Structure 1
């Protein structure tokens, strides 16, 4: 059985110099491909052909930066525990580490999915990826401080809080920490959103690949909007400088409670997109539409 790839015959000496030979060493033509520069994706559409060397360098750099940021979240970052009591105290910080790990991992996975779908190496893609690295390295400390404070509130102080507030204006300090957290979360969501929007504007994205990219863009646009609402509430509460005790305690934590809305909005969003995805038609190799 002949396993050679189909070729296009080209006239006369035009084939010479192209370096395409068959199994017998004869120059016969060039591989037939309906879309130069594009390769089939797993859903029947086509995507940009990756550039292995450049792609590997960008991926390695982004992965290393995210891995380094995770090392800053270790449960005992000042020094190793020297006794069982210190170990027990360090283990109380495990919930903070788990939540922060999940959030950072979510953004890393979003960038991984984008890279798997679209092997883009243009200037905008590199710039947005580098901006994502920069933000995550700045965001990791406010993330740990705010998340420890929030979990300390939820557990009644069992999880130790790493957020120290000034005695003069603790409410304003807390809202400033919430604001920094929301800006970091929102910027990372915006960058993932823009990466996917940029991919949609590039040639070669079609079929279910295009639908999945649009779904990913919409999800992170929604997260960015929630972060914007939280940041706005932080600014308002910072100006009001409400006390941390009494009836205003719930209002003080409102910027963080805003993110709880994602627990309802995101499952609804993905369920809705999933139902629509099942009816999407993609072109097959023979031109007939098939449904995913």
Structure 2
């Protein structure tokens, strides 16, 4: 991307730093671990169909990793903050992604196998019941919340350094909207983990799916972002008013 295009999008640079390159490489490596047929190339129609049935779980996992990767890309391009805190948060995000990738694939695979009654393949060899699904959702909820907190922390850092970065009101408001969005992510992730942890031992299959369906609340993220941006702009106006007076 040329400098004019980057400037029009509010980006503060078109090149990549070494930290951004490390984050990109970590996410790329995580995606390779999600590949639908990592062990060997299908050598029969049966194995090919079995591999293709893993596509939904792969697609869901890939979309989630892409969400966090692109969030870091946008933050890096918009603010270009080079500080110890920003570096630690980015490295923590890399660590969580690499720890998170295999449980993510197992959870998505198990969930799709469960909701299709076994038509999609189960990635686990042992028996999986409501208790096991609930346990995986607890782990997934905490991992999702941790990664969301990392990205939200990066945007919070940009908001707190808005004067040093000379952010416009629109740019600062956008940072406030992103903070609200990822705070909402954390709330949904923790809510899902809490519901999963509180499921009774004799939970029915449909009850074990409730923690997963709670993530559909993320469809309201756009509304939360707008509200967060408005609150941020009001905060800026309230701070600027005494100075103007």
Q: TM-score per shorter chain, which class?
A: 0.7 to 0.9
Structure with more helix by fraction = 2
1:144 paired to 2:111 = no
Match of 1:222 in 2: 184
1:178 paired to 2:140 = no
Conserved 8 A contact 2:177-2:227: no
Conserved 8 A contact 2:180-2:228: no
Match of 2:211 in 1: 255
Match of 1:74 in 2: 35
Change in 2 beyond 3 A, CA 1:208/1:42: farther
Conserved 8 A contact 2:111-2:133: no
Deviation sequence 1:76-127 (CA, Å, 0-9, x none): 1222211222111101111111111110000000000100111111100000
Q: How does 1:105-116 map to 2 (within 5 A)?
A: 105-116=66-77
C-alpha distance in 2 between matches for 1:57 and 1:81:
37
Q: How does 1:147-162 map to 2 (within 5 A)?
A: 147-162=108-123
Conserved 8 A contact 1:73-1:100: yes
Aligned-residue CA RMSD (Å): 2.8
TM-score, normalised on structure 1? 0.70
Match of 1:269 in 2: 224
Task: Using the TM superposition, give the Cα deviation of residue 271 of structure 1 relative to its aligned residue in structure 2, in angstroms.
Answer: 5.7
Match of 1:193 in 2: 152
Change in 2 beyond 3 A, CA 1:165/1:223: farther
Structure with more strand by fraction = 1
Conserved 8 A contact 1:165-1:173: no
Aligned match of 2:201 in 232, 235, 241?
Answer: 241
Aligned match of 2:18 in 30, 48, 57?
Answer: 57
C-alpha distance in 1 between matches for 2:125 and 2:148:
27
C-alpha distance in 2 between matches for 1:260 and 1:150:
15
How many residues align? The count is: 226
TM-score, normalised on structure 2? 0.82
Task: Using the TM superposition, give the Cα deviation of residue 157 of structure 1 relative to its aligned residue in structure 2, in angstroms.
Answer: 2.5
Deviation sequence 1:143-202 (CA, Å, 0-9, x none): 1111112222333332212145558xx443322211111111111001000110011111
Change in 2 beyond 3 A, CA 1:271/1:215: closer
Change in 2 beyond 3 A, CA 1:266/1:163: farther
Q: Which runs of 5+ in 1 are unaligned?
A: 1-39, 283-292
C-alpha distance in 2 between matches for 1:232 and 1:223:
14
Conserved 8 A contact 1:189-1:220: yes
Which structure has the bigger radius of gyration?
Answer: 1
